[in-house]
Structure 1
Amino acid sequence: MKITKRSIYIFLVIFLTIAADQISKVIVRATIVGRTDTQPGERIPIIGDYFTLMNVENTGAFLGMGSDLNPTLRIILLLILPIVVLGLVLRHILKDKTLDNWSLFAFASIIGGGIANVYDRIVYGSVTDFLFIDLGGVFKTGIFNLADMSVSAGMIILLLMSFKKQKSA
Structure 2
Amino acid sequence: MILIIVLMTVGCDQVSKELTRQKVAPEAFIPVIKNHLILTNVENTGAMLGFGHDFPPILKRFLLQALPMLLLLIMLYRIMKKPNTNLFLIIAFAFVIGGGLGNLIDRIAYGSVTDFFQIRLGILRTGIFNIADVAVTLGVIMFIFLIARGKKLAI
TM-score by length of 1: 0.87
Q: 1:66 aligns with which of 49, 52, 65?
A: 52
Which of 55-64 and 88-97 deviates more?
A: 88-97
Q: CA deviation at 1:63?
A: 0.4
Provide the secondary structure at the position in 1 that maps to 2:64.
Answer: helix
Structure 2 residues not aligned, in runs of 5+:
none
Question: Which of 143, 148, 152 is residue 163 of structure 1 equivalent to?
Answer: 148
How far did residue 99 of structure 1 move? 1.9
Q: Distance in 2 between matches of 1:31 and 1:151?
A: 25
Matches within 5 A, 1:79-118: 79-118=65-104
Q: CA deviation at 1:11?
A: 0.3
Query: How far off its partner does 1:77 sit?
Result: 0.2
Structure 2 residue 14 is the aligned partner of structure 1 residue 22 = yes
Structure of greater relative contact order (alpha carbons < 8 Å, 6+ residues apart): 2
Q: Which amino acid aligns with 1:33?
A: A
TM-score, scaled relative to structure 2? 0.95
Following TM superposition, by how much is the alpha carbon of 1:48 offset from its aligned partner in structure 2, in angstroms? 1.0
Q: Does 1:145 align with 2:130?
A: yes
Query: Which structure has the larger Rg over C-alpha atoms?
Result: 1
Partner residue of 1:6? Answer: none
- Counting matched residue pairs gives 151
Alignment of 1:134 with 2:134, yes or no, is: no
Task: Give the letter for the 1:96 counterpart.
Answer: K
Residue identity (%): 42
Letter in 2 for 1:146: I
- Which of these residues, 76, 81, 89, is aligned with residue 62 of structure 2? 76
Q: Distance in 2 between matches of 1:57 and 1:28?
A: 11
Q: Secondary structure at the match of 1:25?
A: helix
- What are the superposed Cα offsets for residues 97-118 of structure 1, whole Å, 9 maximum, x if unpaired? 2321111011011001101101
Distance 1:50 1:72 in 2: 38
Mapped partners of 1:98, 1:92: distance in 2: 12
* C-alpha distance in 2 between matches for 1:98 and 1:72: 40
Segments ≥4 residues shifted beyond 2 Å: none
